[in-house]
């Protein structure tokens, strides 16, 4: 199992979730990448190479990490990944990112800007993809763009859905809080084991 972090973070941000997964008997490894300086042009080939080398069948991804994972699986559909859990990933594109870009902050997203702004239209890959969204609106995103129909403070609930998702659930957590939430960790475990969240 490989854990993938989001923008402006490092692999250390994943440690709280990794500890919970390890306690439950999983063996998570962390994948770090340069989210601003490198972006998907650098990170996606690195992720593909890591997945080929480890044959990891499971991915757990926070925020931008989910978009990186789906792009990697699109580019290398032969990878043996069976299930992907996204936590607060703006799979349809990020309104907060668009708001930041309108305010001249395109540079802050660096080489990941285009992927965050664009997102995906659907998912039709072989891997089962599940999304865990947060609904506690604490985060910078709400100051950058109006987030409709609830949010985790950075990503709107409507941005977390995507045609082709295997399952979707909502937990009481903010965007960064998804990595520390016991409820989110339990949902991650449920999807990795059963391909479904508990509803």
103 lies in a domain? Answer: yes
Tell me what percent of the residues of the chain surpass a pLDDT of 90: 79
Backbone angles phi, psi at 116, to 5 degrees: -65, -40
Give the global pTM: 0.94
**CATH number, position 143:** 3.40.50.1820
What's the rounded Cα separation, in Å, for the pair 10 and 114?
20
Residue whose token pair is 């995103």: 141
Going residue by residue through the chain (199 aa), what tens digit of pLDDT does each one get? Answer: 999 999 989 899 999 999 999 999 999 999 999 998 999 999 999 999 999 999 999 999 999 999 999 999 999 999 999 999 999 999 999 988 888 778 787 777 778 888 999 999 999 999 999 999 999 987 665 656 666 678 899 999 999 999 999 999 999 999 999 999 999 999 999 999 999 999 8
163 lies in a domain? Answer: yes
Work out the angle between the directed axes of helices 64-75 and 39-54 (0-180°, nearest 10): 70
Domain count, the chain: 1
Domain residue limits at 22: 2-194
199 lies in a domain? Answer: no
145 lies in a domain? Answer: yes
């Amino acid at each position: 199992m490989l854990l993938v972090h989001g923008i402006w973070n490092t692999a250390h941000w994943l440690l709280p979730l990794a500890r919970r997964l390890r306690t439950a008997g999983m063996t998570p490894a962390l994948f770090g990448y340069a989210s601003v300086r490198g972006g998907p042009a650098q990170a996606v080939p690195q992720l593909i190479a890591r997945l080929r080398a480890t044959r990891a069948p499971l991915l757990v991804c926070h925020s931008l990490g989910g978009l990186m994972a789906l792009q990697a699986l699109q580019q290398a559909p032969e990878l043996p990944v069976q299930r992907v859990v996204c936590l607060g990933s703006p799979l349809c594109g990020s309104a907060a990112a668009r708001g930041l870009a309108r305010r001249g902050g395109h540079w802050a997203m660096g080489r990941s800007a285009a992927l965050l702004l664009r997102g995906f239209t659907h998912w039709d890959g072989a891997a089962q993809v599940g999304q865990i969204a947060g609904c506690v609106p604490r985060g910078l995103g709400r100051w950058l763009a109006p987030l409709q129909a609830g949010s985790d403070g950075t990503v709107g609930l409507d941005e977390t859905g995507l045609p082709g998702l295997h399952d979707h659930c909502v937990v009481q957590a903010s965007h960064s809080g998804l990595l520390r939430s016991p409820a989110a960790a339990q949902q991650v475990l449920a999807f990795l084991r059963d391909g479904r969240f508990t509803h």
